[in-house]
Chain A
């Protein structure tokens, strides 16, 4: 398990920032320099920048915006799955350029509310409205939605397999319920198709067991990438939290659930990248959240060292 951050690889300052805080693996945000096309040469140039700076290039954290929008349109049924040919092309080009992994969203983001200063020390946090059986994105997908999602996953997996790229799927609305994750995996049974596993996504579901889920998907070799995020449940719903804040189940022993999760990752032999989720907003921080990212990087870095030395 390697500490990673997602950065804009064209920004020298972000590369220095990551290196200074002991990060060894980088995911690149899927952005090209202004006005430049995303061809194989451009992607290779980005990979080179990261590797020359001394990092392991862990992959792309998302599809370029236009392709991500295309996937969403296909899922909505606004256009047929044949229009995913552009996505397949991109995956092939990325493979040629030496990209080992691409994270992609299958589904929409949770309908979160505006950030409000309601976190620790009045940090700006997102909130999710409560529903009876989980967060507001908990409406199960219908049959047609499932068919479209399965077709998209198969197409992506097929391109990835031939390109030698691994696609890390982040299930979104309406496929974000934990039981839907396995269904998405089963829809595209390929060694090139797995999960961007966010423990935070599972914390949002009252009955989910993230540690068991790591074992479950890990046994299948389907965790390609990991994210640490934290949500706290209170009377008015779910609120984003810093990684060190204990979840309700964790209050007697802060960090216990994280420790169990890290042990589970180790037990399944996960040797990929683990990265912190975007942090709550700290007063005076940048839009990307450099101070918050530094806090989370320090927190995860120490946990990984403690795990090694325990």
Chain B
């Protein structure tokens, strides 16, 4: 697998990634007035990263206004789908093989920032609190654009229909151009919010995504953190389930304490998941795509890029990956 980091298009961030040993970078899709990811913009970012030996291995999310009409089933849908396909073609031309996307109509949700280990600031989600104070639960800082607030409810059936339209149109293009699509589960994984369905909130839904248009290019952005937040889910089993099908094209390695209705995003070494077992599971299913560090708690004295927090996480991931490799090699030899 490729240990990666989400990196903004700055020299400073690229150098940090290289220094902590990442060779693969995940970027957000650069915005553009045309509503698609332009080839030239990708080349510029690739050139910047090449100075530090970093390869752009995935785009994770394009700006929300590139496909919000599709998610909500609005009149501009067909034009956005055309542009989305153009984005895929441009990625293919630039040699970027993975496009992560989410289907969270109202974005990510969290309800509080609490003091964790050593007073580190950790994000919390609490369902009751989300219902009590709904505006506060929004991810207002979403860098991908303003949340589209609908004036009516959207049922699960309707949102599934919109996603199906998207997959039916986009997956064949992705397949033709050799770009893998990777669906991120809804974080927080609750079935609806403000009357709008959050359809990718359990494992059945993730299975339904990949079954809707079967293709090697229709896979998952397996956010280990979000999946471990799902009530009753054993994330190691889930890695095996989707990994065996070859459906994990991209992974987020993250730890959480608790599950819906309440969970905290904690440091990698203190969550509910046995992170060594998780890393071994990815190896066992032959996952060879990018795995990136995800959120990090806020630590003392950190900079705007959270380099202290991410340095800890990347160091942790690097060791777990080495340990899992060695365990697999020993097992193959018939040792421990």
The answer to whether A and B interact is: yes
A residues with CB within 8 A of B: 13, 16-22, 119-123, 242-245, 253-256, 258-259, 280, 282-286, 290-292, 294-303, 305-307, 309-310
B 297-336 binary contact with A (CB < 8 Å = 1; else 0): 1011101000111011111111110111111010000001
Given A120-B21, A256-B326, A290-B301, residue A20 in contact with residue B119 (CB < 8 A): yes
Complex Cα gap A284–B306 (Å):
12
Report A-chain residues with C-beta under 8 Å of the C-beta of B17: 121
- Which of B116, B274, B314, B329 has a CB less than 8 Å from the CB of A298? B314
Can you list 16 A-B contacts with CB-CB less than 8 angstroms, sorted by A residue number? Answer: A20-B117, A122-B15, A254-B322, A254-B325, A255-B319, A294-B312, A295-B315, A297-B315, A298-B268, A298-B269, A298-B311, A299-B315, A300-B319, A302-B275, A306-B327, A310-B327
A307 to B324, CA, bound (A): 10
CB distance from A23 to the nearest CB of B (A): 9
Does B314 contact A303, Cβ atoms closer than 8 Å?
no
Most A C-beta atoms less than 10 A away, residue of B19, B20, B313, B322: B19
B275 touches A305 (CB 8 A): yes
Known: A282-B20, A302-B320, A306-B327. 17 other contacts (CB 8 A): A13-B300, A16-B300, A20-B117, A20-B300, A120-B21, A122-B18, A282-B307, A291-B307, A294-B315, A295-B311, A298-B319, A301-B315, A302-B276, A302-B316, A306-B320, A306-B324, A309-B277
Say if the beta carbon of B118 comes within 8 Å of chain A: yes
A284, A297, A299 — which one has the most chain B CB atoms within 10 A of its CB? A299
Contacts of B308 in A (CB 8 A): 17, 290-291, 294
In the complex, B120 has a CB within 8 A of chain A:
yes
Minimum C-beta distance from A303 to chain B (A): 5
Interface class of chain B by DSSP: helix
Instruction: Verify if B151 is at the interface (C-beta below 8 Å from A).
Output: no
Q: Is B12 an interface residue (CB 8 A)?
A: yes
A296 to chain B, nearest CB (A): 6
Contact present for A255 and B117 (CB under 8 Å): no
With a cutoff of 8 Å between Cβ atoms, the chain A residues found around residue B268 in the complex are 298, 302
Asked if B323 and A120 make an inter-chain contact with CB atoms under 8 angstroms apart, the answer reads: no
Smallest Cβ-Cβ distance to B320: which chain A residue: A302
CA of A191 to CA of B128 in the docked complex: distance in angstroms?
A: 59
Contact B18 A120, beta carbon cutoff 8 Å:
yes
In the bound assembly, the distance between CA atoms of A60 and B34 in angstroms comes to: 62
Bound form: Cα–Cα A283–B16 in Å: 7
CB-defined contacts of B118 to chain A, threshold 8 Å: 16-21
Q: Cβ of B52 < 8 Å from any Cβ of A?
A: yes
Interface residue from B275, B311, B325 paired with A294 (Cβ < 8 Å): B311
Given contacts A256-B326, A284-B307, A291-B308, contact A302 B300 (CB under 8 A): no
- Main SS of the interface on chain A? helix
Closest to A250 in B: B322
Q: Is the CB of B319 within 8 A of A244?
A: yes
Q: In whole Å, how far is A242's beta carbon from the nearest beta carbon of chain B?
A: 7
Complex interface bits, B269-285 against A, C-beta within 8 A gives 1, otherwise 0: 11000111100000000
Structural contact, B323 and A306, CB atoms closer than 8 A: yes
Chain A residues lying within 8 Å of B21, measured Cβ to Cβ, are 120, 242, 244-245
- The residues in B between 173 and 212 inclusive whose CB is less than 8 angstroms from any CB of A are none
A61–B147 alpha-carbon span in the complex (Å): 53
Which of B300, B318, B319, B327 has most chain A Cβ within 10 Å?
B319
Question: A21 CA to B312 CA in the complex, in Å?
Answer: 7
- The docked-state distance in angstroms from the alpha carbon of A46 to that of B162 is 63
B160 at the interface (CB under 8 A from A): no
Q: Which of A119, A245, A283, A297 contacts B312 (CB 8 A)?
A: A297
Say whether B267 faces chain A, with CB atoms less than 8 Å apart. yes
Task: Give, as a whole number of angstroms, the nearest-CB distance from B262 to chain A.
Answer: 22
**B323 contacts A302, CB within 8 Å?**
yes
- Docked Cα-Cα span, A299 to B317, in Å, equals 7
Are B299 and A17 in touch, CB under 8 angstroms?
Answer: yes
CA gap between A17 and B299 in the complex, in Å:
7
User: Within the assembled complex, what's the spacing in Å between the Cα atoms of A283 and B11?
Assistant: 11
Contact of B52 among A17, A19, A121, A294 (CB under 8 A): A121
Query: Which residues of A have CB within 8 Å of B52?
Result: 121-122
Contacts of A19 in B (CB 8 A): 117-119
B residues near A286, Cβ cutoff 8 Å: 301
Given contacts A121-B15, A283-B19, contact A301 B269 (CB under 8 A): yes
Q: A17-B300, A255-B326, A309-B274 are in contact. Are A121 and B312 (CB under 8 A)?
A: no
Minimum CB distance partner of B307 in chain A: A291
Q: Which A residues are in CB contact (< 8 Å) with B320?
A: 302, 306
Contact partners of A122 in chain B: CB under 8 A: 15, 18-19, 52
Q: Given A20-B118, A21-B299, A22-B267, A291–B311 Cβ distance below 8 Å?
A: yes
Q: How far, in whole Å, are A300 and B319 apart by their CA atoms in the complex?
A: 7
- Please measure, in the bound complex, the distance between the C-alpha atom of A302 and the C-alpha atom of B276, giving whole angstroms: 8
